[in-house]
Structure 1
Amino acid sequence: MKSIARNQKLAIVGMDCFVSNSPTLNKFERLIYEGKQNSVTSENYQQTPLSREVINSALEDAKIQPDRKIALIIISPTENSAKLANYISAELAFFAEENSLLSALDVSKKLLISQQVEAVLIVGIDKNYPIEINLTGYAFSYDEKAQSIIKTAGAAAVVLQLYETAKQRNHCIYAVIDGLSVVKDAPNHPETVKQACQEAFQIADVNAADIGYLEVVASGIPNADIAEIQGLISAYQTGAENLSCALGSVKANIGNTQASAGIFSLIKTALCLYYRYIPGVPQWFNPKQPEIWHGSPFYVAVESKPWFLEPGATKRIAAVNIMEEDNIYGHLILSEEISQIERSSQYLAEMSYYLFPIAADDRASLLTQITALQQSLTDVSSLSQLASDYFQKYQQYQQSTYALAILSRHPEELKREIERAIQGVKIAFATGKDWQTPLGSYFTVNPQGKKGHVAFVYPGSFTSYIGMGRNIFRLFPQLYDDVVVKSVYNRAADIEKFIYPRSINKLSKRQLETIEQKLINDPVSMLEWEVGLARLMTVMLKNHFRIQSPHAFGYSLGETSMMLAQGVWTSFKSTSDYLNSSPLFKTRLSGQKNAVRQHWGLPLIHAGKSEEFWSNYILICSSSLVQEVLKNESRVYIVLINTPEEVIIAGETQACERVIQTLKCDAFPTSINHVIHCEPMHSEYDELVKINTLPSQANSKTIFYSAAEYAPMKIDSNLIGKNIAKALCHQLDFPRLVNRAYNDNIRIFIEVGVGSNCSRWISEILKDKEHLAVSLNRRGVDDHTSIIKALAKLFSHRVELDLSPLYSFPNIKLDQDNACENQSSFPDTSLLNYEHKIKSTPNYKSLNDHHVRLAKAHGFLLKSRQTSLQQLSLFLQQQLDLYKKMVTQVRKEK
């Protein structure tokens, strides 16, 4: 066995790669995160020019100065690979050709330790071979439905430095190589794989349980796959019933790139550590030989998800398994560099759902600008760049009276949205009504942002669902470093197993429903997750889009979320710990509901036993009518008044059913069955005060409203706890709270948290008054789409905000520790110059043409899908209008 010196770590400081249809590192990373399979083309790529671009991009990414000595190591070279040395932008002090990644890493380590060079560039170049075309996509060979692995072309490069050198140079560190084991001249056997793993653990000083993601070879060769699987299961066995390590293989995304496959695996794993996510595996169903996986720590994520630190962990750790020709085996341990606070990302700016901002002071000028955008589509090659250009153009119209947001994913869609906008703007000026499309384009002639204030509205709890908030950390990676989010990392790691379930098999719809029911039955976990999501969204709005909230209020337990999200509380850990040990949401208000039993004089039930007697129902009926019927029912309560025509009653199940039968109104059981906002929970007042009494910061300029008095409240630690407890122990009249805020000239209501119930209720409460209510999260809609649609409305209503994070130039560093302070940000023109430099390279046009062809290929499918969605939306609106007319008619007849 041969291993790299134990006391020296390496750092990956630069990377780049090229694979068909994903010609940049950013596009490759997007492919990985989105769990997609790369489109294969049969084009004949010229290796030398492509490899030259990859090499110099990796060096530029590493910020290696021209006067620094570097080494170039080519893996599996071709007859032309030596020519690449002529194109190195730094001083080349060493050149070598190796047959494997393992040997290249070994040579790199020796060169760096001996200080012969400051950095080593390892490049993988494929031999010339025909690219295999498979329209069914690639496969993770561990899957029961997988057949053969498809060969593809690609080039990849990484730049390595000694870890200490990289830190001294203040270089970006994608990942740290903590250790590598190499086993030579060994048989293709599970014990060989196990030996390589265990020696790597020892070198890196980690345990198998510490590793959260494992990138495997998955060669598709049956004997090799069996040896790898069995060896890994044996080496990673922890003895605990805990799915702690995700499996994946880059071959499921891009096929087998042969000589560069190992470097692609290394790059993928480094990116996952850098951006802190577990990658999804496309087209995964079930493993081959399912019996051998029982009791293993492995699971497969079918969608990418945030990577939270496990309790007690200080950093994320991953591994790459390596099996090469000539019976050489290796295991590589990597970890994130926790001091790497700034983790630059263009992911949000390159999302293919673009907002085109247009503003003017009158109808004619607005239409002129729309027409100009329409004319610019004749020769557009990049919709992202066009959107960025229009954002820059908008800067001179920022103070305009009117603003239009046009949303689009591709040129054909933009063309249709522009045509609709021309007519929509004319109609809006003629009728005074807002205009919007199913896609999200929006315009109002009555902007509320200039007339009134903005309020953040925090929804109540117990509405969590599987998969919620999955993409928000990738869209805004700085959120990981928020001080409050960090304070609840340990609980997040536990709760996320409900939100993003783990399994070695792809879970069926029924299995997911069962898991979600377990989540519903765990109110503490739901409350903690929802409080955390509210914080994330608040920081996103304030720190990224510079939307300030001079006012805020919450619905029910949303008042708790509000305090943490707005930074009044700076830590939720003590409350989290207390909630998990308190019987409040376990046996008192949930589960056995002993608080109710005690109030009604019923026998108490111990933990573990349950006898359901309590129900919650939504009633489509006025509260006054319901209150009249409740005069005859002592065990039914109006707990929540959502709108003038929607209330929630709670109480003894049979009594609730009698109320509904008497009223003869539409009624629906709620998905949760906890006790809240009623007389039987008065006994829990002191416990609620204790949970909601935390050290507070009184320097916030935000005015906070509470349902305790339906008025602004003073920011004082003791008073906050008492106000929240009082509000939770009594009926909540949401229309009263909303109207109080409206009377204080609040016109813009932004729902910050899970779902869109509050924004819907506010629109119903204020339906005859000028206002705007928007939400940022809706089940079934991805986070990015919801956020962009909300921003479009806020922009048109002239709310003060900064849209620059949506466009293809970077933002300045954000202050994550101060979510309440407004800071201006400006684009870094140096990167705009860099973009111009990239556009001037010889291959830029051919690559752009390639993307244009791909966009056109998808055009017909997207067009038909959009048409279907519009028709469905119209049908649903018609049905809703018909239902409202019928209800109105029935009431008149009564």
Structure 2
Amino acid sequence: QLGLAARDIPGAHAAGGEWATPAGSFFTARPIGPEGKVALVYPGAFNSYPGLGQDLFRAFPGLLEHFEAQAEEPARQLRSALLYPRTYVTPGRRELMELESALGDDVPFMLATGTSFAILYTHLVRRVLGVTAHGGFGYSLGESSMLFATGGWSAEGRRDDLISDTPIFRDRLVGARRTVRELWRDIPADAPDKDLWASHVLLTDERTARAAIERYDRVYLTHVNTPGELVIAGDPTECRALIEELGCPAARSPVSVVMHCPVVDAELDGLAGLNDYPTGSLDGLELFSAYDYQELPGLDRERIARRIAHTLRSPIDFPRLVRTAYDRGYRYFIEVGPGATCSRWVRDTLGEQPHVAACVDRRGVPATKSIAQLAAR
């Protein structure tokens, strides 16, 4: 790395550009500097995967002590038996794919692990690496993870069992999707669950998609990820027809939870109850919400629960969240959760505007390497 740096950095400096290596070393001739504010970015709930964080505690033993200190049953709260399955024989590719598919359908597992790693990664960035964070925002259910990870909600009040026990994430918005069956009364009683609802990622712009969706009664624009990437959901047949009409690249999403559309309205009270936790302190952080794309107005317990429930029945406009933060002076965006989706979306949204978007976790990359790459940036 030193040899490569000695060879290449003078040229990058003279050209006013950047230099990076696959190992993670980085140089820029145009650093943003300390005047740019740092935002913590919390991804949605469905990014966990088998083996997530498997070497994190070995690299940072203090994180384990921190996590165990605030959890009565740390192994259960981390869902370690599912994240790191014990077998006599090393699982093959097929077994791993089946495991990942099963975990993806386990909403309580995804919510619990997403929140746990948001807490761990936030502590790592702020307390271990010593990065001064000024604010943050979350994508979809990442807003709930953000509140736990930043102290807005008391960690001691966390109740993952409520999510496991609620019918909302057992058969109302997932599985049999009874909420959908009750709303769309013409669905045959014996219709398979998989034929009720589908989500698709489309590579097109919001304006084009909205104009076409108006002609479909059971298709919803649920997420805008970037200026050129969005998610639609609804009746599988109508979704396919819309995609064919648009003629854009599209892929079916493995996540098909009913969310971010008016179908959720029947579950608003229950969703508010699942987001009703004792509040703590934000410690000066400026947190932005997709409820109104403004800073959280405070930590009133009931008000926060209602606001989050409302965001879960409304489309998510992630570029709007990013631009809101950018207009407030945020230039550094650190993704503190499983995967690296949000950091990519930040880059796609801001384009050539001066910014840094980095992540703590990158699938398939050792924790020490991904975190060293983050620190280098």
TM-score w.r.t. length of structure 1: 0.41
1:756 partnered with 2:348: no
User: Aligned match of 2:36 in 422, 428, 452?
Assistant: 452
1:617 partnered with 2:205: no
The alpha-carbon deviation at position 573 of structure 1 amounts to: 5.7
User: Aligned match of 1:703 in 256, 277, 286?
Assistant: 286
Q: Report the equivalent of 2:317.
A: 733
The alpha-carbon deviation at position 764 of structure 1 amounts to: 0.6
User: Aligned match of 2:350 in 766, 774, 779?
Assistant: 766
The alpha-carbon deviation at position 449 of structure 1 amounts to: 3.5
Q: Counterpart amino acid of 1:695? A: P
Q: Counterpart amino acid of 2:277? A: L
Conserved? CA contact 1:594–1:604, under 8 Å: no
Conserved? CA contact 2:151–2:282, under 8 Å: no
Paired positions, count: 374
Q: Report the equivalent of 1:590.
A: 174
The aligned runs of 1:527-542 (5 Å cut-off) are 527-542=111-126
Aligned-partner Cα distance in 2 for 1:604–1:594 = 12
Conserved? CA contact 1:488–1:572, under 8 Å: no
The alpha-carbon deviation at position 570 of structure 1 amounts to: 2.4
1:641 partnered with 2:196: no
Q: Report the equivalent of 1:489.
A: 74
The aligned runs of 1:135-174 (5 Å cut-off) are none
Q: Report the equivalent of 2:366.
A: 782
Q: Encode CA deviations 1:415-458: one digit per residue, 9 max, x unaligned.
A: xx233223432233222222111121101122223231000000
1:678 partnered with 2:245: no
Aligned-partner Cα distance in 2 for 1:624–1:742 = 22
Q: Report the equivalent of 1:891.
A: none
The alpha-carbon deviation at position 601 of structure 1 amounts to: 2.7
The alpha-carbon deviation at position 485 of structure 1 amounts to: 4.6
Conserved? CA contact 2:276–2:305, under 8 Å: yes
User: Aligned match of 1:568 in 123, 128, 152?
Assistant: 152
Q: Counterpart amino acid of 1:720? A: I
The alpha-carbon deviation at position 704 of structure 1 amounts to: 0.7
Aligned-partner Cα distance in 1 for 2:279–2:186 = 39
Conserved? CA contact 1:594–1:605, under 8 Å: no
- Give the SS at the match of 1:784: helix
Q: Counterpart amino acid of 1:550? A: H
Conserved? CA contact 1:457–1:749, under 8 Å: yes
Q: Report the equivalent of 1:524.
A: 108
Who wins on radius of gyration, i.e. which is larger? 1
Check 1:543–1:689 CA distance in 2 against 1; reply closer, same or farther (3 A cut). same
Check 1:456–1:550 CA distance in 2 against 1; reply closer, same or farther (3 A cut). same
The alpha-carbon deviation at position 655 of structure 1 amounts to: 0.6
Aligned-partner Cα distance in 1 for 2:193–2:250 = 25
TM-score w.r.t. length of structure 2: 0.94
Aligned-partner Cα distance in 1 for 2:58–2:134 = 28
Conserved? CA contact 1:698–1:716, under 8 Å: no
Check 1:752–1:488 CA distance in 2 against 1; reply closer, same or farther (3 A cut). farther
Supply the RMSD in Å over aligned alpha carbons. 1.9
The alpha-carbon deviation at position 710 of structure 1 amounts to: 0.1
Aligned-partner Cα distance in 1 for 2:89–2:152 = 43
Q: Report the equivalent of 1:14.
A: none
Q: Counterpart amino acid of 1:568? A: G
Q: Report the equivalent of 2:131.
A: 547
The aligned runs of 1:404-423 (5 Å cut-off) are 417-423=1-7
Q: Report the equivalent of 1:665.
A: 248
Q: Report the equivalent of 2:54.
A: 470
Aligned-partner Cα distance in 1 for 2:160–2:116 = 11
Check 1:727–1:596 CA distance in 2 against 1; reply closer, same or farther (3 A cut). same
Aligned-partner Cα distance in 2 for 1:566–1:786 = 22
Q: Encode CA deviations 1:210-247: one digit per residue, 9 max, x unaligned.
A: xxxxxxxxxxxxxxxxxxxxxxxxxxxxxxxxxxxxxx
Aligned-partner Cα distance in 1 for 2:318–2:373 = 25
Aligned-partner Cα distance in 2 for 1:605–1:531 = 36
Q: Encode CA deviations 1:499-543: one digit per residue, 9 max, x unaligned.
A: 111222222221121121111110111110111011011111122
The alpha-carbon deviation at position 671 of structure 1 amounts to: 1.6
The alpha-carbon deviation at position 689 of structure 1 amounts to: 1.1
Q: Counterpart amino acid of 2:71? A: K
Conserved? CA contact 2:71–2:77, under 8 Å: no
Check 1:550–1:617 CA distance in 2 against 1; reply closer, same or farther (3 A cut). same
Q: Counterpart amino acid of 1:539? A: H
Conserved? CA contact 1:598–1:604, under 8 Å: no
Q: Counterpart amino acid of 2:93? A: K
The alpha-carbon deviation at position 611 of structure 1 amounts to: 4.9
Gaps of at least 5 residues in structure 1 are 1-416, 794-894
- Give the SS at the match of 2:195: coil
Aligned-partner Cα distance in 1 for 2:174–2:203 = 25
Q: Counterpart amino acid of 1:476? A: F
Aligned-partner Cα distance in 1 for 2:150–2:289 = 14
- Give the SS at the match of 1:482: helix
Give identity over the alignment, percent: 34
Conserved? CA contact 2:332–2:356, under 8 Å: yes
1:689 partnered with 2:272: yes
Check 1:604–1:562 CA distance in 2 against 1; reply closer, same or farther (3 A cut). farther
The alpha-carbon deviation at position 654 of structure 1 amounts to: 0.8
User: Aligned match of 2:308 in 714, 718, 724?
Assistant: 724
Conserved? CA contact 2:203–2:228, under 8 Å: yes
Aligned-partner Cα distance in 1 for 2:189–2:172 = 10
Instruction: Report which structure shows greater RCO (CA 8 Å, sep ≥6).
Output: 2
The alpha-carbon deviation at position 715 of structure 1 amounts to: 2.2
Conserved? CA contact 2:71–2:156, under 8 Å: no
Check 1:645–1:572 CA distance in 2 against 1; reply closer, same or farther (3 A cut). farther
Q: Encode CA deviations 1:266-309: one digit per residue, 9 max, x unaligned.
A: xxxxxxxxxxxxxxxxxxxxxxxxxxxxxxxxxxxxxxxxxxxx
Check 1:510–1:471 CA distance in 2 against 1; reply closer, same or farther (3 A cut). same
Conserved? CA contact 2:23–2:369, under 8 Å: no
Aligned-partner Cα distance in 2 for 1:603–1:717 = 38
Conserved? CA contact 1:455–1:550, under 8 Å: yes
Q: Counterpart amino acid of 1:734? A: F
Aligned-partner Cα distance in 1 for 2:70–2:208 = 44
Q: Counterpart amino acid of 2:373? A: K
Gaps of at least 5 residues in structure 2 are none
Conserved? CA contact 1:614–1:653, under 8 Å: yes
Q: Encode CA deviations 1:610-653: one digit per residue, 9 max, x unaligned.
A: 35321111100001111111111110111000001000110111
Conserved? CA contact 1:428–1:445, under 8 Å: yes
Where in structure 1 do 4 or more consecutive aligned residues deviate above 6 Å? none
Conserved? CA contact 1:455–1:551, under 8 Å: yes
The alpha-carbon deviation at position 463 of structure 1 amounts to: 1.5
Aligned-partner Cα distance in 2 for 1:592–1:761 = 32
The aligned runs of 1:799-810 (5 Å cut-off) are none
